[in-house]
Amino acid sequence: MAANRRRIQERFQLIGGSVLTALVVLLCLLSFVWVPHDPNAMQLSMRFIGPGENPQFILGTDYFGRDILSRIIYGSRSILLVCVLAVTAGSVIGSLLGAIAGIVKKGPISGLIMRSIDGLMAFPGILLAMMMVAAVGKGREGAIVAISVFMIPPFARLVYSLILDSENSLFIKAARSYNISKTRLLRKHYLPLLLPRLITLFTACIGSAIMIETSLSFLGLGIQPPNASWGLMLNEARQHFLQFPYLAMAPGIAIALSVLGFNLLGDGLNDALSRRRS
């Protein structure tokens, strides 16, 4: 009974996560095909139309008279672009570092890599991102670099610990006894072992990447105006949301649902994976 319920929860997580994630991706694809209005077109005569007041603007308009729905649709594109690129870069660099440290194991290189990873993890989250933005500059590139640096440690640690854990398993010992090259060992023997775990981590990391990107944009350090981005929309809403609270609703819900989607999917995959292993 309990196991059955566990399965139901897991399935709920997987389905809920997939649906929400698919929605974000669909929104992003939609932005290439159709948006109700030009997201950056200002119409000052159309300022502060509330949601539902005008059928032309379903979610209303902002301070500049820009259509909120169009900006939400466009915002999904910039957020997915930044987050997927950043997490991909971070996961590749992190996994490589972890693999090198795991394969070399002892010696100064491995120690240096893992200590640097410890060092990166000592920075409180947003501080590291802000530091990278300070170095690279505000804007899309800054956000990508900031998030990818942030994503290096979890991947490096995962790969490192998995390699150390499976070092004594028979198939690795057998492979080593053939004296195959280290790159081949990694590619043919470790990679199939690592891949499912890496994919799970990747999914979960997109969720936290969205959180960092929107925080940066909210602080005015991420994507710059007039571009549409959910965090930036909330930043722009700050001056007027006490009179017009609806300004903060759509972008906030969009962020929360997409973070939730990727987190649920990541958790669901993780549970399914660990159940299959045990």
Partner 1 sequence: MFGYIYKRTSHAIEVLLIVSIITFAVLQWIPGDAAQLILGAEATPEKVAALRTAMGLDRPWYIQYWDWLKGLFQLDLGRSYLFGQEVVTLIQQRLPVTMSLAAFSMILASVTAIILGSMAAIKKNTTVDYISTSLMQLGSSVPAFWLGMLFIVYFGLELKWFPVAGYVSPDHGLGPYLHSIALPSIVLAIGEVGMLLRTVRTSMLDSLSQDFMDMAKAKGLASSTMYLKYALRSAMIAPINVMGLQFAKMVGGTVVVESVFGLPGVGRLVLVAVEQRDIFLFQGLVMFITMLVILISLLVDIAVMFINPRIRIEMQGE
Contacts with partner 1 by CB under 8 A lie at 2, 5-6, 9, 115-116, 118-120, 122-127, 130-135, 137, 207, 211, 214-215, 218-221, 231, 234, 237-238, 241-242, 245, 248, 251-252, 255-257, 259-260, 263-264, 267
Structure tokens at 42: 């200002």
Backbone angles phi, psi at 67, to 5 degrees: -75, 125
Closer to partner 1 at the Cβ: 158 or 204? 204
Closer to partner 1 at the Cβ: 91 or 258? 258
Output the smallest distance, CB 178 to partner 1, in A: 37
For residues 148 and 140, give the distance between their C-alpha atoms in angstroms, rounded to a whole number.
12
Which phi-psi region, left, alpha or beta, contains residue 224 (left: φ > 0; alpha: ψ -120 to 50)?
beta
DSSP 124-143: -HHHHHHHHHHHH-SSHHHH
Closer to partner 1 at the Cβ: 61 or 235? 235
Residue 156 burial by CB count (10 A; 0-12/13-18/19+): exposed, middle or buried?
buried
Output the smallest distance, CB 263 to partner 1, in A: 6
Which phi-psi region, left, alpha or beta, contains residue 137 (left: φ > 0; alpha: ψ -120 to 50)?
left
Output the smallest distance, CB 78 to partner 1, in A: 16
Output the smallest distance, CB 166 to partner 1, in A: 23
Residues 6+ apart with CB under 8 A from 212: 125, 126, 129, 146, 147, 150
Residue 244 DSSP class? -
Closer to partner 1 at the Cβ: 35 or 146? 146
Closer to partner 1 at the Cβ: 148 or 215? 215
Closer to partner 1 at the Cβ: 128 or 185? 128
Please tell me the number of Cα atoms within 13 Å of 139 on its side-chain side: 5
In one letter, which amino acid is 82? V
Output the smallest distance, CB 117 to partner 1, in A: 9
Output the smallest distance, CB 90 to partner 1, in A: 16
Closer to partner 1 at the Cβ: 225 or 252? 252
